[in-house]
Structure 1
């Protein structure tokens, strides 16, 4: 098991390191691969980054507890993601071409050609802080799996993952990240599908699994039992709130930067085809594994986020269990490397105002960011699901409203944009602090409040113009 796992890690590392052969040694190449990436690689990289340790560790644990009702999370998430992509991704890629920016914050801040430095620094700081926590959560996810399968201490997986990610990020920047993501996405889907097939077979097929799961009270219920409004109406509200989690993808710098790196906008549809087909199939497989894990383990007897590696250990040959662990690590690394690079660009390009221009300085900054994420992971062993959702919703509430109004042609002044970014961000944090996220995903009120500020500005501006012309 150890050997198969290490073999896959070596494979990923070599792919990432080989990207140095294509490196042009410029900041633009390091952060967005000179906008030259093929659509298949963009799609596979984006979905691999999106699905991360959250899917292998967090979503499996969530499904283990909540059962069939977790389908609403998938339906809302993918649905909201798809609807937002119909218009925004293409506009974002076009703006990258016109502005020449290399970061997500820089593109939003200079959308109309203005140099809104304070806005860019604000977005950069929020990106840096929250994505650092996000990167730490991915390293935690990997270390949890290693603890179960190998008995290694929690710090071992975090150190190993951080070291490998740092090596190929320094070698090839985002190109290394995208290349390894594509390879990792294949391992991820193979690992999840293999475990689903074996678990279903051992449970007596579909009919046997339904029989066993039906014995768990409420596990096959279509709606969660703790909805703020019972029944279909509450289920609809629950799904809509998670659709905002899908829409939140447009507020994630580490994912959107992949579409910014696409070689041409004419290939956007192809990139999205790769993305959504893979995403849907993998999400369904993850929910299936999460539900089947309830047949083998009892709630409360262990950390539910360890269900997948424990199933692999119980049901598979050690060599195949190593493939599962490689899949978990692939998921965590595919997001950790993306997040670390986004933090690096936020620090060197947005917060410092491009004061670090040499690739050597940028790589040193990337190393410091990696050490920061590792330190965070070593002192915070919290729920991966909760950590990822908190970071995800905070970033979305801050950035999604601004990106939406920009793509709709609105030109808000810098102070209004900053107000919307900060207010949406704080709304999401307060929503979670007061535990309201137990009923409605916190990104929903955060995004709506941010959009409300832009709407209020537009109404006020319209009235002012009418008074001036009256």
Structure 2
């Protein structure tokens, strides 16, 4: 690392801090401004902040590492994510924006609780507990990414590297709230896109023909698109397991909150187009980087394989442009953790503190509790991230699966089932969680990603409980009809 690299990183971190300072005054008006930016995001900010917060350091470190270590068949994860992203923008985003605006909901948990009229805020509180648990794990994955990045680049202690990354993110998230997070994610999304396009194109020109296939063959890894299972049905089952990542999108609070914050439903067609172009090119680039790294860096273990993006930049680029590309990794990491911290703090503040502990608290008090929550959650996530041997890919897999299995079916039924009530939905969320944890505990995820059985168990439980214990609620049905009418009105304009 040279002075140019340090300069690049320093300027990047100052930009993030400056963004937090700029939006600080906007975040102090009320809780809605701090948590949702006053529901005033444009299409570009919504699209790129949603996708940047979605992909995280996993895009530039976890996915290339998985392709490097397991083979090109890991591209089915990218295929599943692509399909899930498209469906999320098309079938979830518009209805969620209208519905949450109607109910004045600031969090996903508050929306589900009000939508289904759960007694004693049951869905809201349970959802907050689930959110805090899985987002702490998710944030830990991002901090592991930051630690590995700084350790590899600058040779500093891994624990110190984790703390540095956490400190910067806490600073601008505390100051600027949702607007600072979204605008920094816009910058970070652009930087990630630049890196994911430039690096694989240039790296490909440096390799002789056939070197990728030879490198995988030397490690006895198949270059086939199908996973190396003993039978074709088993291979196809593995493909389904990889592609099932797409199911997770319907239940990711840090992505769904972007839909809640857009200025108008009319902006969704443009935002969807921007998001899909970004996702297609970025996922293809990440898979290609993992494949290109195989002949360039043979013999890496699973933990160090997640650093191939860093190694490739160090080998191919001058320190100044290399520093810009390396900053993209930090951008990817920050763009997700800051979103997770804000959503977690909003859940802890709006769902637990206000509605369970101090219903009479004012908005100024809520703002300070939300900021304090950011610090607490970061401290816990740092403690989990201090283990350097933690796999980014494994941590993200578990957290992503948890949100998808617990919240995904609840969101879909909330948006598309007029007669659904609280008891089936709450039962389904609990069933999804239990099946996910049992599947993980018995290591059955080696056969099938735990999101699949958890998601299915959630849906089946909802349908069964609704069949035998469902309760009609005319008020929620009228609200549902109002939401549908508003969506139709927007589409006919």
Q: How does 1:429-448 map to 2 (within 5 A)?
A: 429-448=437-456
CA distance in 1, matches of 2:327, 2:130: 31
Q: Mean alpha-carbon deviation: is it higher for 42-51 or for 65-74?
A: 65-74
Ranges in structure 2 where 5+ consecutive residues have no aligned partner: 473-493
CA distance in 2, matches of 1:379, 1:17: 32
CA distance in 1, matches of 2:88, 2:23: 31
CA contact (8 A) 1:76 1:243 kept: yes
Give the aligned partner of residue 341 of structure 2: 340
1:165 to 164, 169, 174: 169
Give the RMSD, CA atoms, in angstroms: 2.3
1:67 to 63, 66, 71: 71
CA distance in 2, matches of 1:444, 1:434: 15
CA distance in 2, matches of 1:159, 1:5: 16
CA contact (8 A) 1:109 1:116 kept: no
Give the aligned partner of residue 288 of structure 1: 288
State the Cα deviation string for residues 270-303 of structure 1 (Å, max 9, x = none): 2222211101100100111111111112234572
Give the aligned partner of residue 88 of structure 1: 92
1:137 to 138, 141, 157: 141
User: Cα distance, 1:361 vs. partner?
Assistant: 2.8
Q: Mean alpha-carbon deviation: is it higher for 376-385 or for 66-75?
A: 376-385
State the Cα deviation string for residues 286-325 of structure 1 (Å, max 9, x = none): 1111111111122345721122212222222222332232
CA contact (8 A) 2:158 2:388 kept: no
Give the aligned partner of residue 313 of structure 2: 312
Give the aligned partner of residue 468 of structure 1: none
Q: Mean alpha-carbon deviation: is it higher for 109-118 or for 429-438?
A: 109-118
TM-score normalized by the length of structure 2: 0.88
TM-score normalized by the length of structure 1: 0.92
Q: Mean alpha-carbon deviation: is it higher for 85-94 or for 119-128?
A: 85-94
Q: How does 1:214-225 map to 2 (within 5 A)?
A: 217-225=220-228
Ranges in structure 1 where 5+ consecutive residues have no aligned partner: 465-470
CA distance in 1, matches of 2:395, 2:46: 26
CA contact (8 A) 1:72 1:238 kept: no
Tell me the matched-pair count: 460
User: Cα distance, 1:154 vs. partner?
Assistant: 1.0
CA contact (8 A) 1:170 1:363 kept: yes
State the Cα deviation string for residues 331-367 of structure 1 (Å, max 9, x = none): 1100010000111011111122343532223222222
CA contact (8 A) 1:158 1:377 kept: yes
CA contact (8 A) 2:222 2:228 kept: no
CA contact (8 A) 2:423 2:470 kept: no
State the Cα deviation string for residues 97-140 of structure 1 (Å, max 9, x = none): 11001111101111156665011000001101110111111011
Q: Mean alpha-carbon deviation: is it higher for 168-177 or for 75-84?
A: 75-84
CA distance in 1, matches of 2:289, 2:112: 39
CA distance in 1, matches of 2:417, 2:287: 39
User: Cα distance, 1:84 vs. partner?
Assistant: 4.2
State the Cα deviation string for residues 234-293 of structure 1 (Å, max 9, x = none): 444334334432121121111110111011112122222221110110010011111111
CA distance in 2, matches of 1:410, 1:264: 23
Give the aligned partner of residue 378 of structure 2: 370
